[in-house]
Structure 1
Amino acid sequence: MKAMLMQILDSLAYCDPKAPRIESGRMAVIDIGSSSVRLVIYDDVQGYPFLILNQKIWAAFAENKGEGEFNLEQTKIDRVMAALEWFVWTARQTQCSHMVVFATSAVREAQNGKDFVQQAERKIGGRIHILSGEAEAHLATTGAMASIPDAKGVVIDLGGGSLELSDTSQKHFTSLPLGVLSLKALSGDNPVKAKEILVKEIQKIDWLKDLPGNSIVAIGSGMRSIARLHMAAFDYPLEITHDYNLPPETGIEFCQKLINGEDMGVRVQNISKAYKDVLPYRAAALCALLELENIDNVRFATFGIREGVLFSQMASCPVSRDPLKAFALELAHRQGRGASYGRKLASWCAHLFPESNKRYLEVAALFAETGWREQALYRATSQFNHVLGGAYVGANHKMRMKLATTAYFCHDSELTESIRAQASHFLCDDQIAECKAVGSLFQLAQILDPGALGTLDQFKLVRNNEGRLTIEGPEAFMHMASEEVNKKLETAEAAIKAATKEK
């Protein structure tokens, strides 16, 4: 094998605190799981870790893992070896500067697991980390909590060979050898019996009775497939599973149908046959946990163990401080007028919205000019869709819709019938009016500071003696009664009155 352009990291930072952290560069993470082998590649980790590739090969390492000793089958080892060779080649071709390769419960527990790792390390020319159950739980929770920072309760990561549970404060963790493939083997291919096994084992975990909160945070694409099916079955207006949540009664009823093999009457794209075959066992695990007395809901998270591995390697992690703001800052830098303009825009009009969430106002301002290169007639709808469907975390569906509606009003003063129907599902009339008020002022700023060259500092939004909203600016501006400026100002003032109930 030719000398690689990237560094396969010898030390996983979580396991070795002295390991050097990554400052910048594109990073690949290869996850040798019990069900599949996955390659994810993140763009420059210095800012928001944009995912540029997510590739999976089904391997089913833990397919015959029941009670007692087991070995990785040679045919599956051969398949994983081929996947590793391909994934390493792909990482090199995409100019990754760093790569982490790790294996989880199936490799950890197999009698020939260490032999497999030694063989695989020779194949790729670098280190493969065998994660302990504690490391799995810690890293999965790190990823989950970065994507839903306000969650409090228990994080669950159900793989092919094990079920990892950790409280969100990371004081307690438990690793059960009860992944979907091992459950299938242990139950004799009976999802109802699998749930009974899970309930019995979960009842033994004392710390689950004293959680720091009342939410289950479910990670992994398998768990999110349950969310996708529920959304489709009930015509949910978004197709974004991140931070979709279900109360226990609803979740238990739906999971019970999946356990019993009932036809949901819906078809969802991109759920593979392999995932469908083990879906009843995922439902069994979720159902068993939702039946705990102190649980209020389940929230599905996009980030998980691979993101936890990524964040553990980074020298600085803006995502862990505020993932939504980190995404908006990076997007403003890449596609907008720059992060400094977004911050300035939020500050310029913040005094008019004392009741507004400061975080919402700043993120909306950062999103405001990210579509300036698009054709003007399509810009409002396009920006609404881009913000609504953006691949970011740290925002629930209500906040996502509020940001998208504000982005629309940055470019148009009236919602289309279709977009109003979508917005009204999540926002009340007062909240839509707030979006219009903020978006209208951002529109006004586009006129006062075209190209974001710094002229916005020369204008102030003030109330005159009659309480009307006016603009103070340079002498040349004050001598010119601009119809466009006045129209935008009137629109903004009317929206502010509607949002704040001014008379």
Structure 2
Amino acid sequence: MEGRLLRLRPSGRAPARPALAGGAAQGPAGHRLPGRRDPHRPLRQRGNPDRLDGAPVRGEDESAKRLRQAACLLSDLGWAEHPDYRAEHAFLRILRMPFAGADHAERAFLATAIFVRYAGTLDSPALAPARGLLKEGPLQRAYILGLALRLGHTLTGGAALLLQRTGLRLGQEKLTLVLPEDAEMLLGDAVQRRVEALAKALNRGGEIKVQPGARLAG
């Protein structure tokens, strides 16, 4: 199917990776900010699209990078759903979404990441279809990615520009969220909880630091 779609593309057009193209088509259609052309930019450093929050993504191959970007594209898919059902509805939509380029395990990975992004837990009965397709390693990576997306959306409400001057630093013992001096108004109990949850999943402690002199804009 994927090969046939690529053969049918207009001549002269560069081939797109189908999973990303599908995510790009499905994600922004229901996004709070539909005019934003690159919804996965919140997890990138400005001017360097291959870096996650200012640091290389450790051990990430091309396939993992593609799935991360697709998850970011889909990360606001359930914003208009009732809060009680967002996680499960987004999970099922991604499992059943009609786009090529992702096998069953990859689709389960994306659905799990977005399920966690909407506060779903790994022990939820709703995740049974994904648990049957994912080994422990990919399941844990989807969980970590979902927590990172949840932190990003909690911090900025889905506005990508606000994340361009923030960062995550992964140390030997700590995961640190770094904010510019004029972004302290973004902090609160919810952001602290998201940082701590992500840090715990990475077997680290969590902390937030404000960088003196750095500015959110300008």
> One-letter code of the match for 1:473?
L
Q: Deviations over 1:8-48 (max 9, x none)?
A: xxxxxxxxxxxxxxxxxxxxxxxxxxxxxxxxxxxxxxxxx
Say how many residue pairs are matched: 192
The answer on whether the counterparts of 2:148 and 2:198 sit within 8 Å (CA) in structure 1 is yes
What TM-score do the two structures reach when normalised by structure 2?
Answer: 0.75
Instruction: Give 1:472's aligned residue.
Output: 178
The answer on whether the counterparts of 2:155 and 2:187 sit within 8 Å (CA) in structure 1 is no
Instruction: Give 1:325's aligned residue.
Output: 20
SS at match of 2:168: strand
**CA distance in structure 2 between the partners assigned to 1:468 and 1:387 by the alignment:** 33
Q: Deviations over 1:234-280 (max 9, x none)?
A: xxxxxxxxxxxxxxxxxxxxxxxxxxxxxxxxxxxxxxxxxxxxxxx
SS at match of 2:132: helix
Percent identity over the alignment?
A: 21
The answer on whether the counterparts of 1:461 and 1:472 sit within 8 Å (CA) in structure 2 is yes
**CA distance in structure 2 between the partners assigned to 1:324 and 1:317 by the alignment:** 17
**CA distance in structure 2 between the partners assigned to 1:373 and 1:416 by the alignment:** 25
Aligned positions of 1:424-439 closer than 5 A: 424-439=131-146
The answer on whether the counterparts of 1:410 and 1:439 sit within 8 Å (CA) in structure 2 is yes
Instruction: Give 2:130's aligned residue.
Output: 423
What TM-score do the two structures reach when normalised by structure 1?
Answer: 0.35
Aligned positions of 1:275-290 closer than 5 A: none
The answer on whether the counterparts of 1:323 and 1:392 sit within 8 Å (CA) in structure 2 is yes
Shift of 1:399: 0.5
Mind listing any 5+ residue stretches in structure 2 that lack a counterpart? Answer: 45-50, 205-218
The answer on whether the counterparts of 1:339 and 1:366 sit within 8 Å (CA) in structure 2 is no
Q: Deviations over 1:215-239 (max 9, x none)?
A: xxxxxxxxxxxxxxxxxxxxxxxxx
SS at match of 2:177: strand
Shift of 1:349: 4.2
**CA distance in structure 2 between the partners assigned to 1:339 and 1:416 by the alignment:** 35
Mind listing any 5+ residue stretches in structure 1 that lack a counterpart? Answer: 1-142, 150-307, 499-503
**CA distance in structure 1 between the partners assigned to 2:199 and 2:56 by the alignment:** 10
Instruction: Give 1:491's aligned residue.
Output: 197
Instruction: Give 1:240's aligned residue.
Output: none
The answer on whether the counterparts of 2:109 and 2:142 sit within 8 Å (CA) in structure 1 is yes
Aligned positions of 1:338-357 closer than 5 A: 338-345=36-43, 347-349=51-53, 351=55, 353-356=57-60, 357=64
Instruction: Give 1:158's aligned residue.
Output: none
- Flag the structure with more relative contact order, 1 or 2, with Cα contacts below 8 A and sequence separation at least 6: 2
Cα 1:483–1:354 shift into 2, 3 Å: same
The answer on whether the counterparts of 1:332 and 1:339 sit within 8 Å (CA) in structure 2 is no
Aligned positions of 1:46-445 closer than 5 A: 145-146=3-4, 311=8, 314-315=10-11, 317=13, 320-336=15-31, 337=33, 338-345=36-43, 347-349=51-53, 351=55, 353-356=57-60, 357-415=64-122, 417-445=124-152
Cα 1:391–1:482 shift into 2, 3 Å: same
Shift of 1:364: 0.8
Larger Rg: 1
> One-letter code of the match for 1:322?
R
Cα 1:423–1:349 shift into 2, 3 Å: farther
Shift of 1:473: 0.8
Shift of 1:429: 2.1
The answer on whether the counterparts of 1:413 and 1:440 sit within 8 Å (CA) in structure 2 is no
Shift of 1:339: 3.8
Cα 1:332–1:436 shift into 2, 3 Å: same
The answer on whether the counterparts of 1:413 and 1:436 sit within 8 Å (CA) in structure 2 is no
